[in-house]
Structure 1
Amino acid sequence: MVDRDAFANPGSFVGPVVVVRRIASDPEYLFRCFTDEELMSRWLSAPVTIELEVGGAYEILFDETQPPGLQGSEGCQVLTFIPDELLAFTWNAPPSLLEIRNSLTFVILRFTRVADGTIVTLTHAGHGRGKVWDQNREYFIRAWALLFDALESWLEENPTDR
């Protein structure tokens, strides 16, 4: 169960980070890229634990050299999903921002079929106000773009997988 008290006060939220990418692949496959442990581990080159159910784990260990709790998205959970269309999960701040590390935000991925593939829209919301939250938001403006760059590179290098 998601701890509601772990989120910033909704009245204090600032604008979300939004990333939109048009990717030459179908929504079903791209949904799997974010929900299938083995597939996501391959394109992200990181250990992944995904339990695709409400309240299930959604964890990516970006740096296993760090102590437990500081390796990635430990403790994050699936909030909801619609197969091949939508995925929402909780997310935490990077370990460099310990002050808000345990304050959750949320990410919504939408997969929309278009003629030449899929438009994937990532909305990362729930950022609070203040300097450290501004740093968190700026961090994820860069980080989510890099994540999509990695996915698109992997898809180009592995065209038969899709």
Structure 2
Amino acid sequence: MVDRDAFADPGSFVGPVVVVRRIASTPEYLFRCFTDGELMSRWMSAPVTIELEIGGAYEILFDETQSPGLQGSEGCQVLTFIPDELLAFTWNAPPSLLEIRNSLTFVILRFTRVADGTIVTLTHAGHGRGKVWDQNREYFIRAWALLFDALESWLEENPTDR
């Protein structure tokens, strides 16, 4: 179960980080890219554990050289999903922002079919107010763009996997 107290006060939330990408692939395949741990490990080049069920693990270990708890999204969980359409999960701050590392935010991915592929909309919300939260938002403005760049590069290099 998700710990409600781990989130910033909803009354203090600032605007979300939103990234929209049009990707030449199907919603079904892109949903799998974010919900199948083995597949996600391939394009992320990182160990991934995903249990696609409400409350299931949604963990990506970006840096296994760090101490446990500082390696990635340890402890993050699936909040809800609609197959091939929507995925929501909790997310944490990077280890460089220890002050809010244990405060959760949430990410919603929507997959919308269009004529030439899929529009993927990522909304990262739940950021609190203050300097460290501003740093968190700025970090993820860059990080989510890099994530989509990595996915698109991987898809271009592995066209038969689409």
Quote the Cα distance in structure 2 between the aligned partners of 1:50 and 1:124. Answer: 19
Deviations 1:13-46, CA, capped at 9 Å, x for gaps = 0000000000000000000000001100000000
Quote the Cα distance in structure 2 between the aligned partners of 1:135 and 1:158. Answer: 34
Instruction: Give the TM-score, by structure 1 length.
Output: 1.00
Quote the Cα distance in structure 2 between the aligned partners of 1:148 and 1:28. Answer: 17
Deviations 1:123-151, CA, capped at 9 Å, x for gaps = 00000000000000000000000000000
Quote the Cα distance in structure 2 between the aligned partners of 1:18 and 1:30. Answer: 18
Quote the Cα distance in structure 1 between the aligned partners of 2:69 and 2:43. Answer: 23
RMSD of Structure 2 on Structure 1 (CA): 0.2
Quote the Cα distance in structure 1 between the aligned partners of 2:18 and 2:33. Answer: 19
Instruction: Give the TM-score, by structure 2 length.
Output: 1.00
For structure 2, the residue ranges without an aligned partner over 5 or more in a row are none
Quote the Cα distance in structure 2 between the aligned partners of 1:61 and 1:44. Answer: 10
Structure 1 residue matching 2:96: 3-state secondary structure: coil
Q: How many residues align?
A: 162
Deviations 1:65-84, CA, capped at 9 Å, x for gaps = 00000000000000000000
For structure 1, the residue ranges without an aligned partner over 5 or more in a row are none
Q: Which runs of 4 or more aligned residues in structure 1 lie more than 3 Å from their structure 2 counterparts after TM superposition?
A: none
